[in-house]
Amino acid sequence: MKPGERFVEHRALALALLVSLVLWNLPFGGLLLYPFKLLATWLHELSHALAMLVTGAGVDRVLIYRDSSGLAYAVSGTSGFGAAVIAAAGYMGTPLWGAALLVATPTARTARRALLVLAVLLGATALLVIGNEFGQALVASMGVVFVIAALALPARWRIATAHFIAAQACVDAVLDIRVLYRPGQIVDGQVVRASDAHNMAKVTFGTTDDWAVWIWISAWLAWSLLVLFVALRFSGSRAARRAASIVHATASPPDESDRDARRRSPASAPGETVPSAPADTEGS
């Protein structure tokens, strides 16, 4: 990666995180971030759906509603470990999607590839598993927007877009988990008692008492923060290693073998004229 690309990567990441945090605390920030909240819901439900496939429960349909809530339905029920995996997948999977996108998009080329992969996933889920009209229109539209962003945006804006989406996924994961501490959840305008944390507590502790639910909420919150921290550290370490390698390649003096080769070169042989240069510059 060139020095200019490294600067763009860090500036885009820092700006994405700053804008995300600021907008969520402004009166109308939530309205501006509404599309990204819906994208986080899609990532959440997609994680549930993938867990259903892995555990053998199968995916019946996924619903995404206007209030940014969602539901994923399995073809068949499961119990024990499989039920726990499905219940945990949503809140543990969303920050992983954000971290993966963050780590996988250091350059404009990788950002294009990542956006196109997301576009394909959006299109496939819109056709195959989304079960309501709003969800289908939303997910399909997002897929088109991602294709346009991948192919039409300039390099710097492409990186910034990928990093902003990644930052939103990570931030939304934390904010969504906070909502679980409330006594009731809103799904499509309806107040429901059961949440993923309740299902997880039921499977693991055999109860949905507050203490059991809060243990899993706290664990998922800590997981989201840890995933974001590791992703940021990895991205920073990777950029630092690249910067060090570039500095070493451009600033390190030639080794002894280079000097010996130049002493034996025809240009410095007796009777030949050596090109004009300061006498003390050799080996500098």
Question: Is the pLDDT confidence value at 269 over 70?
Answer: no
Question: What is the residue whose two structure tokens read 């990928």?
Answer: 162
Reply yes or no on whether the pLDDT at 109 is more than 50.
yes
Q: What is the mean pLDDT of residues 175-197?
A: 80
pLDDT at 170 over 50: yes
CA dist., res. 22 & res. 163, Å (int): 16
pLDDT value, residue 13: 59
Most confident of the ranges 70-84, 94-108, 132-146, 171-185: 132-146
Mean pLDDT for the stretch of residues 54-64: 95
Residue labelled with tokens 């992703």:
231
- Average pLDDT on 218-226 reads 93
- The three-point CA angle 22-143-132 to 5° equals 95
Q: What is the pLDDT of residue 116?
A: 97
Whether residue 197 has pLDDT greater than 50: yes
Range with lowest mean pLDDT among 2-11, 154-163, 199-208 = 2-11
Neighbours of 128 (CB within 10 A): 11
67-93 per-position pLDDT tens digit: 999 999 999 988 889 999 999 999 999
**pLDDT at residue 102, rounded to an integer:** 86
Position 270 pLDDT exceeds 50: no
In this prediction, residue 20 carries a pLDDT of 67
Q: What is the 3-state secondary structure (H, E, C) of 185-226?
A: EEECCEEECCCHHHHHHHHHHCCCCHHHHHHHHHHHHHHHHH
| pLDDT at 251 > cutoff 60 | no
> Quick one: pLDDT at residue 261?
41
CA 134 to centroid of chain Cα atoms: 25
pLDDT band at 237 (very low <50, low <70, confident <90, very high): low
Q: How far is CA 156 from CA 143, 166, 170, in A?
A: 21, 15, 21
Pairwise pLDDT comparison (272 vs 86), residue with the higher score: 86
Residue 58: pLDDT band with limits 50, 70, 90: very high
> What residue type is assigned to position 89 of the chain?
A
**pLDDT given for residue 279 in this prediction:** 40
Task: Judge whether residue 31 has pLDDT over 70.
Answer: yes
3-state secondary structure the chain: CCHHHHHHHHHHHHHHHHHHHHHCCCCCHHHHCHHHHHHHHHHHHHHHHHHHHHHCCCEEEEEECCCCCEEEEECCCCCCHHHHHHHHHHHHHHHHHHHHHHHCCCCHHHHHHHHHHHHHHHHHHHHHCECCHHHHHHHHHHHHHHHHHHHHCCHHHHHHHHHHHHHHHHHHHHHHHHHCCCCCEEECCEEECCCHHHHHHHHHHCCCCHHHHHHHHHHHHHHHHHHHHHHHHHHHHHHHHHHHHHHHHHHCCCCHHHHHHHHCCHHHCCCCCCCCCCHHHCCC
Return the higher-pLDDT residue of 160 and 206. 206
Give the confidence band of 12 by pLDDT, cuts at 50, 70, 90: low
Q: 187: which 2 tokens? A: 């799904």
For residue 236, the model assigns a pLDDT of: 61
Give the number of other Cβ atoms within 10 Å of residue 120's Cβ: 13
